[in-house]
Amino acid sequence: MRSGGRGRPRLRLGERGLLQTPTPSNRRLLPRAQLLPLLLLALAVASAFYTVWSGWHHHRNEELPPGRDLRGQLIGSLPEARMRRVVGQLDPQRLWNTYLRPLLVVRTPGSPGNLQVRKFLEATLRTLTAGWHVELDAFTASTPVGLLDFANVVATLDPGAARHLTLACHYDSKLFPSESAPFVGATDSAVPCALLLELAQALDQELSRAKDQAAPVTLQLLFLDGEEALKEWGPKDSLYGSRHLAQFMESAPHSPGPTRIQAIELFVLLDLLGAPHPTFYSHFPHTARWFHRLKSIEKRLHRLNLLQSHPQEVMYFQPGEPPGSVEDDHIPFLRRGVPVLHLISTPFPSVWHTPDDSEANLHPATVHNLSRILAVFLAEYLGL
């Protein structure tokens, strides 16, 4: 990912050549007798336009997929006993030893470590009793270091469900010169991958039951390849996997609806997680309600004394504007109209893109706290 500005500044009035102030020689004043009928006509046209627009706008809101703008009001909060049960199903040792440590290898695109991690992700997902549909989105792309093979792992609990809650992360690690110290990207993004695996395992029975009951919203997990730039970050050297997958999903049919990308009700991207004292901000107004849901869960878990090394009610999910925009794997989906909730620590961890982004510098309490917050979020969102 790359931290950036807020995009190209908008042109001021007059800079496009359409709103220039006319010169005095071009101005003509109309007599009042002629001006009144023109004003009445303009008022009538504006009134008719507003009537048509308001009817269209109301109809458009009614046609929005429920989760894309209206569904947040329908989701309740878990009672205390249920929250404790969900948190109790998480296994910190399993998350760390079974899921995280196998990911802490050099896994640049096309490398043996990348293939090893990808096969581990596929095998782990296929062992879950809920019976996930696991696909491989494999492709070859031209890069600054030559042609490389990439592969996204796409796991969908119930492919026949109308809508998807999609959680995503990237599993590749950044390429550094061969003489550099090994870079295993613990926060970037081994921990996010391990979190998704632990969530799927901890909620395995509930997810299996939801699938058997044909719930209208299902869980989807994306493990994306090629997020990192291979030379220098740019539109053609970054986000290889997410660009390919978003383009594929845009045209791939989805049986209950038009396309697979339109089935995504909410796209939650996890990145740069696991360092101590992370702070998250709401990046997009349309998904602010879900950000506030996470903030509420953090508060509730704190009050129940279910978070470790967490002295204040709200430490992670901060109010206000983010420090800046971030280019990450959500961009190809965002550009296609998918609602995005971006869970990335900003400012970035101090170990970002250094060999110090390793297991030794992770903060276990923070990792486990985030797993608990996300588990409750999934249980509430999916009604588990």
CA 257 from chain center: how many Å?
A: 21
Reported in sequence order, the residue ranges of 275-339 that DSSP labels E, i.e. its strands, are 325-327
Q: Are strands 163-170 and 146-156 parallel, antiparallel or unpaired?
A: unpaired
Asked if residue 377 lies in contact with residue 297, where contact means CB atoms within 8 angstroms, the answer is: yes
Asked if residue 122 lies in contact with residue 133, where contact means CB atoms within 8 angstroms, the answer is: no
As annotated, the active-site residues are 227, 271
Q: What would the 3-class secondary structure string for 63-102 be?
A: HCCHHHHCHHHHCCCCCHHHHHHHHHHCCHHHHHHHHHHH
Asked if residue 194 lies in contact with residue 213, where contact means CB atoms within 8 angstroms, the answer is: no
| Whole-number Cα distances in Å, 113 to 21, 34, 53, 110, 361 | 63, 79, 55, 8, 21
Asked if residue 382 lies in contact with residue 303, where contact means CB atoms within 8 angstroms, the answer is: no
**Cα 319 to Cα 296: distance, rounded to the nearest angstrom:** 12
- The amino acid that residue 294 corresponds to is L
**Cα 233 to Cα 104: distance, rounded to the nearest angstrom:** 23
**Cα 216 to Cα 148: distance, rounded to the nearest angstrom:** 38
- The amino acid that residue 132 corresponds to is W
**Cα 366 to Cα 308: distance, rounded to the nearest angstrom:** 8
3-state secondary structure of 250: helix
